[in-house]
Structure 1
Amino acid sequence: MYMAYTNTTNSHSLHRSANTSKGMTLTSGYTKAIVRFVLLAIILGTVFSFGAIVQAYAGDPAATTTSTSQTKQVVISEVSQIVVTEKIVIQRGDTIWQIASLHKKNGENIRSYIDKIKTINHLTTSSLQEGQVLILPGS
């Protein structure tokens, strides 16, 4: 703000100049604040909607392939028992619950079957990786 002194008789007083608003006006300050707020809202909206899209496609079973590649193997133990084991290759989107529900015996508890899968494959968690080979308990 520009302040000017004027010389009058014996008194010095401050007078405002006619050009007091050399910088921002009050309305342009509000306008800039509103524009910044709108831009921030747009950026945040874009970031959050991108995250929601990724989350939706990551959890959508229709967007992922759930077929598993299967091979059967015959293992002959020392007692001459034939045990048929099944190996599957984990595909994108497969879960241990889904695999257990497809391959368990009728009437068998799915949680106990998952425990058997984890024991045979030396798993400490239920996390599976694409391309991982799982050995399923024999029938």
Structure 2
Amino acid sequence: MTWEPRPVPDVTPETEPYWTAAGDGELLVRKCHDCGLVYHYPRSLCPDCFSEAVEWCETSGHGEIYSYSVARTMSGWPDEDLPLVLAYVELEAGPRIMSIVDADPSAVEIGTHVAVRFVDAADSTIAVPVFVPVTD
């Protein structure tokens, strides 16, 4: 992908640790101490039991494609970066994360193993996680 640096995502106090960790090359998820759910998108309450007893956990950044779509046109996206693979990646840690897969669409299918890499945002302390196919 050539559209770098990426625009800066909306960083809130609730998501700031996630974006800061991504800037340091770490992919974080949240884990609930009360029900054990590991989840993503970052939020301060467990989406299952609504507990506030949650913590940040680092993941390996490895997973596989759960579902995907190919965008051949996208408003505001550079034409040279199209088509774009948008996917739900099921992390080894458990949760699914929607992300871009930096690969030719013909090289992606459900079950493709992927690993995270981080693309710099315009703010040098923040990076955006994307996934790339890996061979086993």
Of Structure 1 and Structure 2, which has the larger fraction of its residues in strand?
A: 2
Of Structure 1 and Structure 2, which has the larger fraction of its residues in helix?
A: 1
* Greater RCO (Cα-Cα under 8 Å, separation 6 or more): 2
The interval holding the TM-score normalised by the smaller chain is under 0.3
Question: Computing the radius of gyration over CA atoms, which structure comes out larger, 1 or 2?
Answer: 1
- Structure-1-length-normalised TM-score: 0.21
- Structure-2-length-normalised TM-score: 0.21
